Chains A and B, each alone.
Chain A
Amino acid sequence: MNNSSAKYSLTLKNIIYSEWIKFTSTPSAWFTLLGVVAAMTAFGTVAAFGGSIPGSTFLSSESDPVYRVLIGSRGSILMLGILGVMIGSREYSSGLIQTTFAATPARLPILAGQILAAVTAIVPVATLASFLAFTVGMAAMQSSGNPTVALSDAGALRAALGCAAYLTGAGVFGIGLGNLLRSPISGTGLIFGGFVAAPGLATSLIPSSWTWALAYLPSEAGASLTALTPTSNLLSVETGALVFLAWVVLAVIAGGASMLRRDV
């Protein structure tokens, strides 16, 4: 017997580190994180000036100043959701998943590793982006004569952190979905459809008596987290948080079940 199998061992810690190496050695992951910071700040600033910039009325009628400056989260969950889908699905399309599963036959620790590696990278970036958008956005609000809120005001800190959680959750949701669908194209399509097309299009497609249901979509439920006081077409902060969490957990469970049950 050789001693190599005694020298080495497959542990959860090792698997998480392996997924961290994969995350950090994927250039597109870093570009996405950079894009999130840029989108959060840029959209927040434009929304804050909205109404005072000639020709731009972007969100100028929004009465919640916090929701307004954190509006970049709408584009950011799209980017992070797609990043998650790529993390979860790309190995199935490249075939690398066979090497990965042969190295970790239990499979589920890989999902844990993907999530933990992504969360480790996303949380600081999402937090930074939320606070940056808040700070820059509020400064822009003030200079354009709009009402402002300080981070120390009731609910403001909660909304900024909630925004970071919303962004992080979108990434984790994507990882679950990616492992479920195993295809970057259909995963990206579903993220785009679910986060953008469905809430937008459905308002004109479904009867108005049913529009309340749209608030339960993941992108809308999570959006409640970014508001001081969510508007009537969003869920309350607590309900929104629970519904959003339920979507994320559901996606992860579905992804994990697919990982365990299906051949590669």
Chain B
Amino acid sequence: MIEVQGLVKRYGSAKAVDNVSFTVKPGQVTGFLGPNGAGKSTTMRLILGLAQPDAGQALVNGRLLRDSAAPIAEVGALIDGRAFDRGRSARAHLRAVAATIGIANARVDEVLEFVGLTSVANKNAGGFSLGMGQRLGIATALLADPQIIMLDEPINGLDLDGIAWIRKLLRKLADEGRTVFISSHLMSEMEIIADHLIVVGRGKVLADTTLEEFTASSGARVVMVETPEAPRLARQISAPGVEVESLDSTTLKITGLSGRQVGEAAAKAQVTLHQLTDQRPSLEEAYARLTSDAVQFRARVA
């Protein structure tokens, strides 16, 4: 469990993190979502004690990380998938981190195998691609088999196989009852991985909700129906709060009902359906709407 309480971090006059509070619970994947510069990495660095907050605190399993007897067994973190020393092999990197709390070399080989880096274990980690670096960073985070896994932009640089792999991994970790906290600036990534979302913009929490609630609150859902008996179906489902628009003679666009409700109504009235599509509002749009005021670096087109 990670508890962030009233965190403030200033850089000069700008507040990178502005009174941020949230709790990351075990047993689910919590996505930390926001545009670049929203304060995600700074918040994660404050949790790890890499930066000192101007106010507030971040507790890990109820205490500051620096009070932990074995910090990397408490939180396994990936902050930067490129942060490895030039000249040092992946294996030596992991052994050095492992040694701090007395983790055996056998465990190092185990995590190398687990992230699929065994064949390049003796290669210079400084020369790794971003995707390989992310895998090594994840291996570093998993070394001590921690209860909390915190990854900053873990999907960055991964190929499709890598994304599928990390998605499965995070799901497994959460199902084991661990606390999984990952950041991203892409809604599309969170949509496939996260159960819970903490959306930030300009250092402030904009939303702290489940993925479903976020979807539901992000706009009315639309159901598209294709049927040779469009007028009959339209009459059948007509009710207060339901809006039916006839796009052509066989296509209806229905707002205010779920796909299931429309389907059941059609079955009851014995209306033949050729197609029924439940169009969830685009999460990407919802996210864009939520953060539009909070985007710090927007490209201007002259």
Report if B294 contacts A (CB, 8 A). Answer: no
**CB nearest to B140 among chain A residues:** A99
Beta-carbon contact of B79 and A99 below 8 Å: yes
Report if B189 contacts A (CB, 8 A). Answer: no
CA A7 – CA B50 in complex, angstroms? 25
Beta-carbon contact of A94 and B83 below 8 Å: yes
Q: Choose from B70, B83, B89 the contact partner of A98 (Cβ within 8 Å).
A: B83
Report if B220 contacts A (CB, 8 A). Answer: no
Beta-carbon contact of A9 and B70 below 8 Å: yes
Beta-carbon contact of A25 and B92 below 8 Å: yes
CA A5 – CA B72 in complex, angstroms? 8
Report if A147 contacts B (CB, 8 A). Answer: no
Q: Choose from B50, B68, B77 the contact partner of A264 (Cβ within 8 Å).
A: B50
Beta-carbon contact of A94 and B48 below 8 Å: no
Query: CB-defined interface of B73-99 with A at 8 Å, one 1/0 digit per residue?
Result: 111010110111111110011011101
Query: CB-defined interface of A1-26 with B at 8 Å, one 1/0 digit per residue?
Result: 11011011111001101110110011
Q: Choose from A4, A21, A95, A101 the contact partner of B144 (Cβ within 8 Å).
A: A4
Report chain A residues within 8 Å CB of B126. 94
Report chain A residues within 8 Å CB of B144. 4-5, 8
CA A50 – CA B99 in complex, angstroms? 50
Report if B234 contacts A (CB, 8 A). Answer: no
Given A8-B102, A22-B96, A95-B80, A101 and B85 contact (CB-CB distance below 8 Å): no
Query: CB-defined interface of A90-111 with B at 8 Å, one 1/0 digit per residue?
Result: 1100111011111111100000
Report chain B residues within 8 Å CB of A5. 68-70, 73-74, 144, 146-147
Report if A28 contacts B (CB, 8 A). Answer: yes
Report chain A residues within 8 Å CB of B101. 8-10, 14, 103
Beta-carbon contact of B96 and A14 below 8 Å: no
Interface majority SS (helix, strand, loop, mixed), chain A: helix
Report if A27 contacts B (CB, 8 A). Answer: yes
Report if A263 contacts B (CB, 8 A). Answer: yes
Beta-carbon contact of B45 and A263 below 8 Å: yes
Q: Please, how many residues of chain A have a CB less than 8 angstroms from a CB on the other chain?
A: 36
Query: CB-defined interface of B151-188 with A at 8 Å, one 1/0 digit per residue?
Result: 00000000000000000000000000000000000000
Beta-carbon contact of B102 and A14 below 8 Å: yes
Q: Choose from B49, B69, B70 the contact partner of A101 (Cβ within 8 Å).
A: B49
CA A100 – CA B80 in complex, angstroms? 12
Report chain A residues within 8 Å CB of B89. 25
Q: Please, how many residues of chain B have a CB less than 8 angstroms from a CB on the other chain?
A: 43
Given A95-B80, A99-B140, A10 and B71 contact (CB-CB distance below 8 Å): yes
Beta-carbon contact of A14 and B99 below 8 Å: yes
Query: CB-defined interface of B124-156 with A at 8 Å, one 1/0 digit per residue?
Result: 001000000000000010001111000000000
CA A218 – CA B111 in complex, angstroms? 46
Given A8-B101, A10-B101, A91-B85, A98 and B79 contact (CB-CB distance below 8 Å): yes
Report if B276 contacts A (CB, 8 A). Answer: no
Report chain B residues within 8 Å CB of A103. 71-72, 97, 100-101
Report chain A residues within 8 Å CB of B99. 14-15, 17-18, 21
Report chain A residues within 8 Å CB of B66. 105-106
Beta-carbon contact of B96 and A21 below 8 Å: yes
Beta-carbon contact of A102 and B147 below 8 Å: no
CA A163 – CA B258 in complex, angstroms? 84
Given A5-B70, A10-B71, A96-B84, A104 and B52 contact (CB-CB distance below 8 Å): no
Report chain B residues within 8 Å CB of A15. 99-100
Beta-carbon contact of A28 and B87 below 8 Å: yes
Best-buried of B68, B86, B100, B146 by chain A (most CB within 10 Å)? B100
Beta-carbon contact of B79 and A18 below 8 Å: no
CA A88 – CA B167 in complex, angstroms? 37
Report chain B residues within 8 Å CB of A102. 48-50, 65, 71-72, 75, 77, 79
Given A22-B96, A94-B126, A98-B45, A8 and B83 contact (CB-CB distance below 8 Å): no
Report chain A residues within 8 Å CB of B49. 101-102, 105
Scan residues 186-200 of chain B and give those whose CB is less than 8 A from a CB of chain A: none
Query: CB-defined interface of B17-43 with A at 8 Å, one 1/0 digit per residue?
Result: 000000000000000000000000000
CB distance from A247 to the nearest CB of B (A): 27
Report if B103 contacts A (CB, 8 A). Answer: yes
CA A99 – CA B72 in complex, angstroms? 9
Given A8-B70, A9-B70, A264-B50, A26 and B85 contact (CB-CB distance below 8 Å): yes
Given A2-B147, A8-B102, A14-B102, A22 and B85 contact (CB-CB distance below 8 Å): yes
A/B interface sample: 25 pairs, CB < 8 A? A2-B145, A2-B147, A4-B145, A5-B73, A5-B144, A5-B146, A10-B68, A15-B100, A22-B92, A22-B96, A25-B89, A25-B96, A27-B87, A91-B85, A98-B50, A98-B83, A101-B49, A101-B50, A102-B79, A103-B71, A104-B71, A104-B100, A105-B66, A263-B45, A264-B45
The 10 A-B residue pairs with the shortest CB-CB distance, nearest first, are: A95-B83, A25-B92, A105-B66, A263-B51, A8-B101, A18-B99, A5-B73, A8-B70, A21-B96, A4-B145
Contacts A103-B101, A263-B52 aside, 8 further interface pairs with beta carbons under 8 A come to A7-B73, A8-B102, A22-B88, A26-B85, A94-B86, A94-B126, A96-B83, A103-B100
